[in-house]
Amino acid sequence: MTRYLLVRALSLSLSLIVASVVIFAVIEVIPGDPAAFMLGLNATDESIANLRAELGLGGSLTERYANWITGMLRGDFGTSYTYRVPVAELILDRIWVSLPLAIFALILSTLIAIPVGVIAAATRGGAGDFSIMGATQLGIAVPNFWFAMLLVLLFAVTLQWFSAGGFPGWDNPAAALKALTLPAIALALPQASILARVMRSALIETLDQDYIRTARAKGLSRSQAIRRHALKNALIPVLTIIGLQFSFLLAGAIIIENVFFLPGLGRLIFQGITQRDLVVVESVTMLLVFAVIVVTFLVDIAYAIVDPRLRRR
Amino acid sequence: MNRLPFTLVVGSIITAFFVGTALLSLVWTPHDITELEISQRLQPASATYWLGTDQFGRDMVSMLMEGSRTSIAVALIAVGLGIVVGVPLGLAAAAARGSLLDEVIMRGNDLIFAFPSLVIAILITAVYGPSATNAIIAIGIFNIPVFARVARGGALPIWTLDYILAARTAGKSRARISAEHVLPNIANLLIVQATIQFSLGILAEAALSYVNLGAQPPTSSIGKMLAESQTMIYSNPSLAVLPGLAIVIMVLGLNLMGDGLRDALDPRLRRARG
């Protein structure tokens, strides 16, 4: 296990280093002069020179990369050019929208997908299975941002149960959760469809195992066999997918935040792009990729703890 | 396989319909969408405008035809990019199993997977500006590791077979064996994967153009139609509903076709799917 952990940790740090180099290269090297890029065509030489000094573009590429990385490790993500505040402050402000949204969606998706997948597997080949599989086909084909618009149309415009967008802040937790409900449903639907299919096929595969036949031969009913023996084993691949979906949800939230005008990290990135604020784009992108890589790492570790067979490779 | 699977038939018909209208839009659409006729704005469906017009007086049918052409073109080229780069990488990794090359290719794949494709697209457009080409690159990059993985996974068991050993003793190089013996045997796998990636590509293109990171005017795209319809959702919901339905049906058709192809090409999988 120690060896496995060491290898995984090594590949984690390697991924993070390569990812940061790629982001740094795309944002700071390829456009030529980032300062000129940020200020656009009408910038004077003087203002470009000022911005260059402000961004610390005087040093060599290696120096700038090192400064960027060590800064982020200390929690210094640079200063936003348009907002004139530290990017770390902007992120801290907005992560309290994006993170709860992703978690909310993940919980919803899991709560829907697991029972639905189990029912489909238990009624395998029957009418229930058929309709569930049909519904998940549809769920996979629906773009989540369009589903979000339909939700707005139904629940905000027609029924007026929810507001069509915006976020009141966490001072009033009930109102905040309510504002996140439609976005979370929109995010959760396609993920739940995928997860339900994984749950179904994992359970079907487990039900074909010899030990389930033994359990049935001992006199357990089908549902008893599922509950006591099959479910636990079938949940292992499902847990992996749930872990991987979290990072997917964080990225998917970028678009859904735009549908509902939620002031999260996704809106921050898009404002950064339209305002050519490369400092914001660079740091927020790195943060998202960091989150994805670390979550994947944690899922791998959790997987190895649950299933010892995986530690050998 | 005396009978074609139902899903394959339905999926192929839907896909053929969308590909057909997309091709048709190259030479003919019911109306010209570059001409804005404000006097004809927000018309209901009629004999002249089969699905009505949008807020600029553009014919919805023509917009959808051209929009799905953009979706299909972007997704198709992105899949092509994934196959052309990914499959040789996967074949090389399988041919050199366990070597440094294999390790480098597979770890490189893992790394690309760590970047959500949307984040790649954002990075590219942040610097180069939004365009259909950048959307293709962003979606295509993400297809590379998918095809590399499928090709490697499919090729590994084939390398253990006797006729590969025979080919090797006959003096064929690993590259030649990969091309002549391994590739034809994993073609089915690749075709099925290509259908899946195609439908994912259409969804990704829609998402990118919805947040204005995809094709730019005058090119019509379904994602952009959805974005433009959003402010009109209270008064004219059909402007938001129709383009979305087009995407759903197109993606559904491709997914059904993929499922059907898998069943038709690999009878062994039929049992496993219950």
Interface check for B252 against chain A (CB to CB < 8 A): the answer is yes
Q: What confidence category does residue B272 fall into, taking pLDDT thresholds of 50, 70 and 90?
A: very low
Q: Which of A17, A81, A137, A149 to mutate to test the interface with B (most CBs of B within 10 A)?
A: A149
Q: Tokens standing for B136?
A: 């293709």
**Under an 8 A CB cutoff, do B123 and A285 touch?**
yes
Q: Is the pLDDT of residue A206 over 90?
A: no
Res B269 pLDDT > 60: no
Place of tokens 């003919």: B28
Mean pLDDT of chain A: 85
Q: Contact, A236 vs A307, CB < 8 A?
A: yes
Mean pLDDT of A36-58: 78
Instruction: Please report, rounded to a whole number, the percentage of residues in chain A having pLDDT higher than 70.
Output: 97
In DSSP notation, A207-221 reads HTSHHHHHHHHTT--
Q: Which pLDDT score is estimated for A276?
A: 82
- Amino acid B239: pLDDT: 84
The C-alpha atoms of residue B255 and residue B273 are separated, in whole angstroms, by 15
SS3 A79: strand
Of B111, B123, B124, the CB nearest to A15: B111
Residue A119, C-beta contacts closer than 8 angstroms, at least 6 positions apart: A128, A129, A132
Dihedral (CA of A272, A75, B119, A57) sign: positive
Q: Nearest by CB to B244, which of A19, A146, A259?
A: A146
CA distances to A182, A197, A307 from A237, rounded to whole Å, are 28, 11, 10
| Selected residues 10-69 of chain A with any CB under 8 Å from a CB in chain B | 11, 14-15, 18-19, 22-23, 26-27, 30-31, 37
Confidence label for B113 from pLDDT (cuts 50, 70 and 90)? confident
Distance CA B89, CA B148 (A): 6
Beta-carbon contacts of residue B57 (< 8 Å; ≥ 6 apart): B36, B37, B38, B39, B40, B41, B42, B43
Mutation site for B-interface testing, chosen from A16, A158, A273 by largest number of B Cβ within 10 Å? A273
Question: Of residues A130 and A34, which shows the higher confidence score?
Answer: A130
Q: What is the mean pLDDT of residues B100-123?
A: 80
Is the omega angle on the peptide bond into residue B218 within 30 degrees of 0, that is, cis?
Answer: yes
From A32's Cα to the closest Cα of chain B, the distance in A is 10
Reading the block at residue B179, the tokens are 């091309």
On the question of pLDDT at A15 being above 80, the answer is yes
CA dist., res. A82 & res. B98, Å (int): 50
Do A19 and B111 make contact, defined as CB atoms within 8 angstroms? yes
Number of DSSP helices (H) and strands (E) in chain A, helices first: 13, 0
β-strand partners of B59: B53
- Tell if the CB–CB gap between B124 and A204 is shorter than 8 Å: no
Closest in A149, A205, A296 to B240, CB measured: A149
pLDDT over 90 (residue A166): no
- C-alpha A152/C-alpha A182 separation (Å) is 8
How distant is the Cα of B171 from the closest Cα of chain A, in angstroms?
32
pLDDT, residue B29, reads: 83
Higher pLDDT, A168 or A37: A168
- Burial call B88-121: b when 16+ CB within 10 Å, e when fewer: bbbbbbbbeeeeeebeebbebbebbbbbbbbbbb
Q: How deeply is B87 buried, as exposed, middle or buried, from its count of CB atoms within 10 A (0-12, 13-18, 19+)?
A: buried
Partner residue opposite B206 with nearest CB, options A129, A143, A292: A143
- All residues of chain B having their beta carbon less than 8 Å from the beta carbon of residue A23 are 123
CB contact under 8 A, B240 and A278: no
Q: What is the pLDDT of residue A311?
A: 62
Tell if the CB–CB gap between B126 and A273 is shorter than 8 Å. Answer: yes
* Chain B stretch 24-83, residues whose beta carbon is closer than 8 A to a beta carbon of chain A: none
Q: Is B251 on the interface with A (CB under 8 A)?
A: yes
Mean per-residue pLDDT for A65-94?
A: 87
- d(CA B214, CA B26) in angstroms, rounded, equals 20
Most confident of A99-103, A241-245, B266-270: A99-103
Q: Which amino acid is at A41?
A: L
What whole-number distance in Å separates Cα of residue B180 and Cα of residue B265?
20
What's residue B19's pLDDT? Answer: 92
Q: Percent of chain A beyond pLDDT 90?
A: 22
Binned at pLDDT 50, 70 and 90, residue B267 comes out as low
CB pairs under 8 A between A and B: 120
Residue B1: the pLDDT is 47
Q: Which of A10-19, A176-185, A219-228, B48-57 has the lowest mean pLDDT?
A: B48-57
> Which amino acid makes up residue B219?
T
By the 8 A CB rule, do B206 and A143 touch?
yes
Fill in the amino acid letter for A153: L
Least confident of A148-157, B124-133, B154-163: B124-133
Touching check for A248 and chain B: CB below 8 Å? yes
Assess whether pLDDT exceeds 90 at residue B263: no
pLDDT digits (tens, 9 = 90+) for B9-47: 999 999 999 999 989 888 888 888 777 777 777 778 777
CA B264 vs CA A128, A164, B9, B199: distances in Å = 25, 45, 11, 19
Choose between B50 and A257: higher pLDDT. Answer: A257
Nearest to A124 among B237, B243, B274 (CB): B274
| Alpha-carbon gap: A141 to the closest alpha carbon of chain B (Å) | 5
The answer to whether residue B271 scores a pLDDT higher than 60 is no
Instruction: Tokens for B51, please give them.
Output: 């699905």
Question: Is the pLDDT assigned to residue A107 strictly greater than 80?
Answer: yes
pTM: 0.86
Q: What is the SS3 assignment for B270? A: helix
pLDDT on residue A313:
45
Q: Is the Cβ–Cβ distance between B54 and B225 less than 8 Å? A: yes
Comparing A191-200, A201-210, A220-229, B196-205, the range with the smallest average pLDDT is A220-229
What would the mean pLDDT of B219-232 be, rounded to a whole number? Answer: 86
The tens digit of pLDDT for each residue in B157-213 reads: 999 889 888 998 998 999 999 998 999 989 988 998 999 999 999 999 999 898 888
Q: Positive or negative, the Cα torsion across B228, B232, B233, B238?
A: negative
CB < 8 Å to A119, chain B? none
Kindly tell me if the per-residue pLDDT of A34 is higher than 50. yes
Band (A272; pLDDT cuts 50, 70, 90): confident
Q: Which residue of A has its CA nearest to B254?
A: A141
State residue A15 phi and psi, 5-degree precision. -60, -45
**Chain centroid offset of residue B184 CA:** 22
- pLDDT value of position B203: 92
Q: Is A150 in Cβ contact with B118 (below 8 Å)? A: no
CB distance B213 to A272 below 8 Å: no
Any alpha helices (H) in B96-161, and if so which ranges? 100-114, 117-128, 132-159
Residue B235 is predicted with a pLDDT of: 81
Average pLDDT (A301-305) is: 78
pLDDT surpasses 80 at A30? no
Q: Pick the closest to residue A265 from A134, A141, A91 (CA basis).
A: A91
Tell me if A108 sits within 8 A of A192, measured CB to CB: yes
Confidence class for position B268, pLDDT limits 50, 70, 90: low
Query: What is the C-alpha to C-alpha distance for residues B58 and B181, in angstroms, rounded to an integer?
Result: 53
**pLDDT tens column, B50-109:** 778 887 778 888 888 989 999 999 999 999 999 999 999 999 999 988 888 888 888 888
